[in-house]
Amino acid sequence: MKPRSSATPRVALYARVSTTNKGQDVGLQLDELRQAAAQRGWVVSEENVYVDDGVSGAKDRRPQLDRMVRDAGAGKFDLIAVFKLDRLARSLRHLLTLSDDLSSWGVGLVSLHDTGIDTTSASGRLLFQILGAFAEFERAIIRERVIAGVRRAQAAGKHCGRPRVDMELRPAAAMLKEGRGLREVAAILGVSRSTLRRRLQEMGCWPAAETRPGEQAA
């Protein structure tokens, strides 16, 4: 469906930064969006300004994004303007879902810093999908590099993930042989039951030779 025709389009502005106090300022995005709106004769009301501050773009659900989508479906504006495409979404699936929904409601999408992104035109819609594909590809490459780095570290004997809990297992083994339960022993040692069980299993001390009645060995 084509965007709603309007001599003076009602425009919503969307801005987002993933972190705060780290050199990112959502105000810079809004300043440029407002300037573009003034230059193009767009009508922007304050109720149609949506800001997700400190929210990751990897999340499909965001408070202000969700509100904007609801308002788009309710016909409160004709066009959405964003500073850059990755402010709106980071995955192709999410971008295409948003694009399809907006199109069905007759709402267009314009990105100031992605040349040609204007879903009110056929060429703009095509470029929108192409750029979305590249954004998702870049994200997948980064994820693959991280996974490869973790595997290399693990192969080199480095621990990845939560810090390993060091403990003396002989007292634990002795208490278990006395008939104390795993939960009780873990509480005495000040560690979680799952951590104690895992360390005992690594040392070949679990299942214990003797356990209290009802104590599970796994």
Which one of the listed residues 18, 91, 103, 121 is annotated catalytic? 18
pTM: 0.56
Q: Is the same domain home to 44 and 83?
A: yes
Give the Cα separation of 72 and 205 in Å (integer): 61
Residue with tokens 């590249």: 134
Determine the length of the chain: 218
Are 110 and 17 in a shared domain?
Answer: yes
Same domain? For 129 and 199 the reply is no
Is residue 156 one of the residues assigned to a domain?
no
Could you give the dihedral angle defined by the CA atoms of residues 94, 100, 105 and 108, in that order, rounded to the nearest 10 degrees? 80
135-166 pLDDT, tens digit per residue, is 677 777 877 887 887 778 777 776 555 555 55
**Domain match, 174 and 109 both:** no
Distance CA(136)–CA(142), nearest Å, equals: 10
Q: What are the residues facing 52 on neighbouring strands?
A: 16
Q: Is 91 a catalytic residue?
A: no
User: How does pLDDT run across 63-89, given as a tens digit for each residue?
Assistant: 999 999 999 999 999 999 999 888 888
Residue that has been written with the tokens 């480095």 in this structure: 158
Contact (CB, 8 A) for 205 and 173? yes
Q: What range does the domain containing 80 cover?
A: 11-140
